[in-house]
């Protein structure tokens, strides 16, 4: 049986759907069912449920708000993750942990390998790296999956924001010097289900194929939706945020290739499927 935390979120909900479509026994929980920051509660829940694998999607993901709420962000992403990892180790369960491109410093133009030295620039990135380290410290049977620019049906995301803004604006300023890969949650869910059944442990990078800037992503959203709203490319310096954003979010998929996992489809194909849905 597979346990999915954060099951009401953007990615977690699609993992539950994928598991159900495959006929795999799974349980999805969210904060209302289990507070992952409560170590005793996590211990009791996993010892009673005894899952074979935990796909840990639950996280504090408000990147800018994290700068003013570091203690809460760390409690959820570091301590909460460690609570899950310890309980998994005690019950001999595997663990899949969803991490982020924000563990890197965002410099250069070369895609990051899984063993590239980490250097997060913001509280969110530091908290997710701390989660990675907690798992590696406490477990042997784990997969760490770093992803980026996630969008799907549930929850807020860049695609929905652009479509909403396009209803009220003729032009939207979008940064053009941050480069990465959008990731469609149903596509990532397929890979995560494959990983959960594989026992191929390690660190992986998983996004839809191809790179683009946020401005190029936005332009494609307008093109597919048939929207006349103009996208004005601007440098990062003209779009001030509390948390530093990485300019380079490119990640190598060599780890997927080596393990024999299929890469995700191209991001434009994924965006078209999302828009049709």
Active site includes 124? yes
Residues 6+ apart with CB under 8 A from 130: 74, 77, 78, 81
Cross-strand bridge partners of residue 212 = 180
Beta-carbon count within 10 A of 236 CB = 17
184 touches 11 (CB < 8 A): no
162 touches 242 (CB < 8 A): no
CA distance 130 to 100: 12
What angle separates helix 267-276 from helix 214-225, to the nearest 10 degrees? 40
Determine the straight-line distance between the first and last CA of the chain, rounded to whole angstroms: 30
221 touches 159 (CB < 8 A): yes
Please tell me which residue in 124, 201, 204, 239 is annotated as part of the active site.
124
CA distance 16 to 3: 9
**∠ at Cα 131 (137, 140), nearest 5°?**
35
**Among all residues, which ones are annotated catalytic?**
124
């Amino acid at each position: 049986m597979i346990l999915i935390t954060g099951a009401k979120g953007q990615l977690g909900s699609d993992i539950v759907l994928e598991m159900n479509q495959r006929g795999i026994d799974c349980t999805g929980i969210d904060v209302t069912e289990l507070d992952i920051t409560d170590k005793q509660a996590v211990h009791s829940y996993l010892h009673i449920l005894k899952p074979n694998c935990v796909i840990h999607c639950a996280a504090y993901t408000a990147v800018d708000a994290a700068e003013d709420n570091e203690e809460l962000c760390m409690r959820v992403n570091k301590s909460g993750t460690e609570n899950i990892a310890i309980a998994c180790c005690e019950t001999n369960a595997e663990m899949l942990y969803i991490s982020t491109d924000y563990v890197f410093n965002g410099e250069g133009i070369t895609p990051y390998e899984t063993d590239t030295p980490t250097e997060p620039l913001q509280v969110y990135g530091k908290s997710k790296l701390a989660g990675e380290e907690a798992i590696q410290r406490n477990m042997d049977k784990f997969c760490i999956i770093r992803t980026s620019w996630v969008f799907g049906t549930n929850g807020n995301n860049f695609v929905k924001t652009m479509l909403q803004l396009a209803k009220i604006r003729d032009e939207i300023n979008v940064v053009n010097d941050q480069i990465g890969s959008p990731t469609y949650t149903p596509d990532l869910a397929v890979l995560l289900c494959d990983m959960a059944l594989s026992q191929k442990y390690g660190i992986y990078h998983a996004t839809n194929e191809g790179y683009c800037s946020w401005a190029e992503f936005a332009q494609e959203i307008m093109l597919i939706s048939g929207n006349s709203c103009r996208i004005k490319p601007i440098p990062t310096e003209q779009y001030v945020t509390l948390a530093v954003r990485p300019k380079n979010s490119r990640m190598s998929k060599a780890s997927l290739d080596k393990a024999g996992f299929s890469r995700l489809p191209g991001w434009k194909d994924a965006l078209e499927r999302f828009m049709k849905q």
